[in-house]
Structure formats: structure tokens, C-alpha cells
Structure 1
Amino acid sequence: MLTTAPENGSLPMCGTSAASSSCGVSPFSSISGKTSIMANVIEVNRIEDLHAYALTWERLFRKTPHATFFQTLDWLQTYWKFYGQNKTLRVLLVQVESEIIGILPLVEQRETTHAGPVRVLTYPLDAWGSFFGPIGGEPTATLFSACRYLAATSKQWDLFDLRWIEPEVDRGRTFNAMRCHGFTTVPYTWQTSYAIDLPGNFDDYLATRTPKFRASIRRAIRKAQEAGIVQERYRPEVDATRPFSPNEELYDRCVELARRTWQGGSSSGTTISHAETAEFFRECFLKASQRGMLDLMTLRRDDELIAFSYNFCHQGRLLGMRMGYEPDCKRLSPGVTMLGMQIRDSIDRGDCRIDLGIDHPKAKERWSNKTLLSQRLCHYSRFSVQAQILRWGHWLKYRSAAAA
């Protein structure tokens, strides 16, 4: 289903009578230098209809700051295939002067809260990654138009909740766009991700660690090398002019290794070997490999796989997804060895950041030299009792957290 913005898509600029006076410069000024412009929002509700916009999506993705695999159409199609049940897809494409200048993928889903079931309009990420946002090089205009459209259309949701916003990239755009069109936006700090900003060489990184941990890293790498352990990095470079097949045999060996670790007995449903998520992770591996956005680090001893690190990468930025190592090799500290070698090799390759994610903070704090805070912006429908109860619950929760 495709729908377009009401009122012939005419979007008045902030500061005019149709918008809040707190909004400032026209979000379209960087596009055309005009004070007024006609914009149209196309809403796509069926995943198969997005095939028609694949080339446009790809063009805009290449312009997206700090873009990740999770902002690709490949990711959205994979996510929808496995987790789109009982959800409503709402992809908003912003068109200015016959050209699509930005995309805002959204999803409506029912969530269970302390206030009861709540219908939420949010990003299609579900905490698989650390950050999310609009696709394209004009995020201000995209967010402005999308929020204008959402404010003018019927609302089936109770809570408009944009999570995983990266403040370094967003710079208040989302908050301003929501407020500009009448959403009573409440900002919260959402999650903390632990990252490593990579310096010019490995010794400079080690110098930032405690003497004890620095010695542990060096000792683990030295013992591994003495034991004949070698590292391999699978990071396919895709050439559109040549056929390419992902290394599925290597991935299968990583899954088999994961089954022999604690992941094999995990009931969380988030490991690469779990029955509920195995096919999802495999498809992500295939899609990311075909895009040249996969990074798979392995350690081997006598051709035996003893550890792996499964990551996504783009423009020198890595996001760690899953890691595993052979239980029988604990005396070689394979976890420390793996990450130490990965950091050293990433520095040599010219990578700039490794995002270790949000889970297991105590283990990651030893490695991290930068914490990345994501933001959450909420608008609670005044017509929803559950949303208003949730608003007070959030206020108490975040107030208590701030006072702690």
C-alpha cells in the first residue's frame, strides 16, 4: 500500500503560522536555498513494494552519516521476514521537487509494559544494533517532513518512541522536528554502548589500559603465538563486475563452535546457534557479505577453529555482534587473545572504531576507551490512558536513575 501526504504535500516552513514559533531556519534551505518548497511524503506499508525504491535507497544510504548495516534495505527485508509478524510497516519517503531526498523507516508494534499493552511507533531495530536514524544526506528535512506527515495523519499508536538515536549525528534534529509539529517530546538517555576509538598504533591503545590488563593482553597474544595459533580475517570486498559467493562453510564452522560453548545451552534466543535465531543470523551474514559489510575474525590452531568474532563493518566502523571460543582452550585466554588481535589488526587496516555493544558492561569496560550514549525521544498520546500511565512511569524511572 502506498499513501502520500495530505494537503497536496505542501509543508510550510518552521516559523510560519502552520508551525511552532520555536522552530528556526527552514530545514530545506540546504537543498534549494528557498524559503518555501513543496514536499511530498510517500508511505510504503508492504515490504515487497520497497523493491521499486532499491536503487534510491542505496543512493541515499551512501550519503548517510555513520551509516550501518541496519540502515540498509537488505537489513529491513531480513528483519521483516523473521520478525515482521503482527507489526505494521511504515516507511516514509520524503520527496522534494520529484526527487526522494530521505527515508525514515518506522514500524508500529504492540509492546507489553507495566501500564498494559501499548501500540508503539518506533524504529525497526529491536536492539540488534546500537544506533538508528533517517537514511540520506538531508536528515533535517527528512525528519521535518516525516513528523509533519505523522502529525497530520490518523494515529493508531499510543506512543511515538524513537529510540537508539545517536546524539553525535542527530544534534537535536529529531527533538526539534517532533516539537515543531506539536509532539510533546520527552527526551531520555536510552542505552550505553562500549566502544574503542582506535589510535594510530597498538602500543598507543595499550598505553590507555591499566598496567595489569595491558600485561594480560600482551601475555595472551604471546602465548597464543607460541602455541601456533594464527588469526584470519574474513572481510569480503565485493566487486559488482564479478560473481561473489559468501564463505558459508566458514560461517557454519563458527555456528558449530558456538554450539559447543555456553551459547549452545542459552535460552535467550539471541545466539547464532539458537534454533529461533540461527536462520536470521545466517541471512544477515549472507546479506552483509554480499554488501561487503561483514567482518568475521577467527583464530585457528592446526586448522582447528578455536574462536570467532562476528561483526558488521562499514567505513572503518565495526559493530560486534557475537563472539565464541572453544571451551577446552581456556588456558590460552582465547577471548582476550581474540579481541587483542582484532584491535591490533583493525588498527593496521585503518579502522577507526569498534563498537562492542551494550551487553556485559563489566567485561567491556576493560577494553573500552569511549562510552556511546543513545537517546530516546517519546511522545505520549493524550488520548491513551496506557500512554499517560507509562509517561508517569518513565518519569519516575528516569528520575530515580538520575538521582542514583
Structure 2
Amino acid sequence: MTVTAPSLLAAPGASAEWSAEVHRDEQALIALAGDLRDLYDRSPAATPFQAYEWIKSWWGWYGTRGRLRLATVRCRGRLVAAAPLAAGVRHGFPVLVPIAADQSDFTDVLLDPAYADGAVRHLARALLDERGWCALDLREVRPGSAAHLLAARWPRRAWRTPSSVCLELPVGAAGSGTGIDAVLDRLPGRTAGKMRAKLRKIDVRGITAESVPADRVPDAVHALLDLHTRQWRGRPINPEHTRERFRRHLAEAAAGMVRDGRAAVLQYRWDDRLVAGDLVLIGHRHVGAYLYGALPDLRSRVDVSLMMLREDLALARDRHRQSVSLLRGDEPYKLKWRPTPVRNERIILGRTAAATAYAGLARTRAYLSERRRGGPGAPAGPFGSASRLLHD
């Protein structure tokens, strides 16, 4: 454990004592559970991927002993910032990465905005005092995230470059133009008419949607993943989705998040037969359609994506959220809804001179990966013309 010396800084309206430390003991995740849950509630920019239940479950199934780096900042004893990180090696460089980054669509740190100025400075100092790493790599930072404040205050070199595109659909203002109606109103009249006909077909067939209570969530997640695997049989599937550790992580995380109102598992039944399942993560501002599964033959009978989108939008409306995020990827089946694209950024914060080489290599590998996928590739230049060196 690395501990920074307490200091006195100005907090909102008064002088307050600050302290920061970096925890390496895995028991810290358990001991700080209440504080981390409370801080998440006070962190409006945080997404469900920073919720305690998500990171704790992931660490239990994926984490490596000795690699936890949980940086925390307190003001007069109250937790006001936290960065749940893990130490690792990427491309031969020692780095820090957010816990659960590989299974998360957004990465960030937790920050109470009432203490932002002092909390960010102390968080940066605690991380820089921690030895053994050259760069902090935040791959999927959403616009408006607390990580942007950390990058702006970072006293050494920092880079950012465009990352994944996420697509969002507005829930709509209260009234008749909400939910699926608000989305269909964005489409050409002929297309919207066809979609409404498909919704009537779903209703006529009697397919029902049920939100699963927390005590039944683990079984529901296992059933969802079984459907997901069947749905992708014979086609390329994310291999992690077929592994037991992912199954156990998702079941454990979803159960806690549903209990706390931070997720919902929806099951769709036709004549009492389970035909589809959907895991929706509920953030402060939006809900995210994370993973679903459906019987392969269901697609030939109804529009599955439309059926689930209607329920996800209704959930967002009922929880007073602004939008439904279709999360990473701009696949054609998402684009037909005319969603709003929101681009994440990759932020790399350097600690040592080796960070420059790491950032350049990371940029090059991202460019080549994009080209292999047939995309337009990343902008030209040593770190991309669309990328910016934040500061020296």
C-alpha cells in the first residue's frame, strides 16, 4: 500500500483535511464496499461499469492476486474520489488499466463533483507516487466523464485519441411522444408504419416481457447466455461470452445490480416458453442494452431487436433516464433507428518517459486493427491528426 501524506486544501466553503492512498490488498474492495457504493451515487458522470457490484464481481473472477491498485481520496474522512485499477503488462510495457475494462463499454474514475478540484489533484498525486508503471490506459472514456478532469489536471504527458462509437436513442419528453413512439417519429413515415405493423404482430402473437426479481437473476442470466450461444451457433461469437468465468461474473454482477436498481434482466415468453432474454444496465443518465439472447427461429417470426428496443425504451422512461445507449459499435441493425452517435475517447496518462513509446504503439495497433476490420482507419500522423497531445 502506498500512502500520501495528508495535506490541507480548500474544500467547498472551508479548509478541509485531505488524504489519499493506493490499496493493493484485495480485501480493500470488500472493506470499502459501502463507501464505493455511496461514492458511485454521488458521481453523476459514472456509468454502470463503475458500479461496485460490476467491478467487485469482475475482480473475483478475473483479477490476479497482487495486481489490485485501488486509489482513493478522502476529504475529512469521506470518500470523494476513487480509481479501481489493475497493474498489468501491455505490449511489453507496465501499465495501469481500469478494473473490468475488457468487459466494459465505458471506463472512468469515480468523482464527487462537489470536491472535484482537490480530489482530482490528490488522485493524480497518489497515482504518480505509485511505482512500477509507465502509463494509465483508459480505453473507452465517454464525453463528460470524470477522467477528462483527471487528464486536464495531469502534470505529465497525456494523450487522447478517438475510440469506439456508441449509438444512443432519446427517450423523449414526457407525454405521448416517448419511448418507442419518439424513436419511430425520427424515421420516414413509410418505415415507421412498417415498424408499427411489426409491433402489432408481436402483440397479436402474445409475446410478453417480464422483469426478473433479484433472487432469480442468476438463473435468468444463465438462461440468457444459453440463448445467446444458440443464437450465434455457426457464426463468429465473442469467445469470452462462452466461458464459465464470464457466465459467473455476469450472473453475480447482475444480481447485485438488479437488487440496487442498477440493472434489469428482461425475459420474453411466448405461450409460457422462454424465447429471449435481455440484460439492461441502468446508469444515472441512460440505460445500456448490454447483452441479449434469443431462440434462433424467433427472428423468422418477429423483429427481435424492435421487440427489445420497445421494452428498453419503456424501462428508461419509467426510470426517468434520458436515453437508451446501444453501447459500442455502429452495426447496420443499429443504424436503422437513426440514433445519435457518441464517440468515446482513449486517454493515456504518462508517468515515465516510456509512456510516449507505449502511446505510439497503442495508436499504431488501433489503426491496423481498424484497417483489418475494413473500416476507414485512424487519421494519419504520428498519433493521428484527430488525436491531441493534451499537455506536456
TM-score (norm 1): 0.79
Q: Which amino acid aligns with 2:272?
A: D
What is the Cα deviation at residue 91 of structure 1? 0.9
Say whether the 8 Å CA contact 2:151–2:349 is kept in structure 1: no
Match 2:12 to one of 31, 43, 64 = 31
* 1:215 and 2:190 aligned: no
Q: Can you give the 5+ residue segments of structure 2 that lack an aligned partner in the other structure?
A: 368-377, 387-392
CA distance in 1, matches of 2:208, 2:75: 53
| Other-structure match for 1:189 | 162
Post-superposition offset of 1:263 = 5.5
Residues 87 and 109, structure 1, Cα contact 8 Å, conserved in 2: no
Q: Out of 339, 356, 368, which is 2:308 matched to?
A: 339
Check whether the contact 1:308–1:338 (CA below 8 A) recurs between aligned residues: no
Instruction: Find the aligned partners of 2:234 and 2:260 in 1 and give their Cα distance.
Output: 29
Q: Give 2:360's aligned residue.
A: 392
Give the residue type in structure 1 aligned to 2:195: I
2:390 counterpart residue number: none
2: CA distance, partners of 1:377 / 1:84: 22
Counterpart among 282, 295, 307 of residue 276 in structure 2? 307
- Measured after TM superposition, the shift of residue 30 of structure 1 is 5.0
Change (3 A) 1:382 1:254: closer
The worse-fitting range, judged by mean Cα deviation, of 339-348 and 201-210 is 339-348
| Of 214, 228, 232, the match for 2:206 | 228
CA distance in 1, matches of 2:68, 2:131: 14
Measured in 1, the distance between the counterparts of 2:379 and 2:284 equals 38
CA 1:119–1:86 in 2, change beyond 3 Å: closer, same or farther?
A: farther
Distance, in Å, in 1 between the alignment partners of 2:10 and 2:7 is 16
For residue 107 of structure 1, the aligned residue among 70, 83, 86 is 86
Deviation of the 1:64 alpha carbon = 0.9
2:374 matched residue in structure 1: none
The structure 1 residue matched to 2:50, chosen from 60, 71, 79, is 71
Q: Secondary structure at 1:157's aligned position in 2?
A: coil
Deviations 1:275-328 (A, max 9, x none): 452222222222222323221223221011222211111446211111122112
Query: Residue type of the partner of 2:99?
Result: P
Alignment of 1:317-396 (within 5 A): 317-346=286-315, 348-349=317-318, 350-359=320-329, 361-380=331-350, 382-384=352-354, 387-393=355-361
Counterpart of 1:49 in structure 2 is: 28
**Does 2:146 match 1:146?**
no
CA displacement at 1:74 relative to structure 2 = 2.3
Q: Deviations over 1:132-162 (max 9, x none)?
A: 32324134432211112233x2531132223
CA distance in 2, matches of 1:320, 1:203: 18
User: Which string of whole-angstrom CA distances, capped at 9 and with x for unpartnered residues, describes residues 318-345 of structure 1?
Assistant: 1111112211222223423323422452
Percentage of identical aligned residues:
17
The answer to whether 1:81 aligns with 2:60 is yes
Q: Secondary structure at the residue paired with 1:199? A: coil
Residue in 2 that maps onto 1:277: 246
Post-superposition CA distance 1:32-81 (Å, at most 9, x none): 445xx642212211221233322222221211114333223322221111
What amino acid does structure 2 have at the position aligned with 1:102? A
Verify the 8 A CA contact 1:62 1:136 in the aligned structure 2.
no
The structure-2 alpha-carbon separation of the partners of 1:100 and 1:359, relative to structure 1 and needing over 3 Å to count, comes to: same
1:204 aligns with 2:182: yes
2:38 maps to what in 1?
59
Q: Deviations over 1:213-255 (max 9, x none)?
A: 4234212211112222222233x4xxxxxxx623444334323
- The alignment partner of 1:270 has SS state of helix
Question: 1:128 maps to which residue?
Answer: 103
Change (3 A) 1:247 1:283: closer
Shift of residue 29, structure 1, vs aligned partner = 4.6
Amino acid in the other structure paired with 2:183: Y
Matched AA of 2:336: R
Distance in 2 between residues matched to 1:73 and 1:204, nearest whole Å: 33
- Supply the distance in 2 between the matched residues of 1:270 and 1:368 (Cα, whole angstroms): 30
Give me the CA root mean square deviation. 2.9
CA distance, structure 2, for counterparts of residue 65 and residue 186 of structure 1? 24
Give the distance between the partners of 2:108 and 2:229, measured in 1 at CA: 34
Unaligned runs of 5+ in 1: 12-27, 237-243
Tell me the amino acid that sits aligned with residue 338 of structure 1: M
Q: 1: distance between equivalents of 2:136 and 2:103?
A: 20
How has the CA–CA distance of structure 1 residues 40 and 81 changed in structure 2, closer, same or farther, with 3 Å as cutoff?
same
For residues 95 and 119 of structure 2, the distance between their equivalents in structure 1, rounded to whole angstroms, comes to 20
Identify which of structures 1 and 2 has the higher relative contact order when contacts are C-alpha pairs closer than 8 Å and 6+ apart. Answer: 2
Q: Could you say what secondary structure the match of 1:277 adopts?
A: helix
How many pairs align? 363
Q: Which amino acid aligns with 1:379?
A: L
Secondary structure, aligned partner of 1:204: helix
TM-score normalised by L of structure 2:
0.81
Counterpart of 2:298, as a letter, is C
Give 1 or 2 for the bigger CA radius of gyration: 1
Aligned match of 1:10 in 7, 11, 19? Answer: 7
| Number of the residue aligned with 2:231 | 261
Letter of the aligned partner of 2:239 in structure 1?
Answer: G
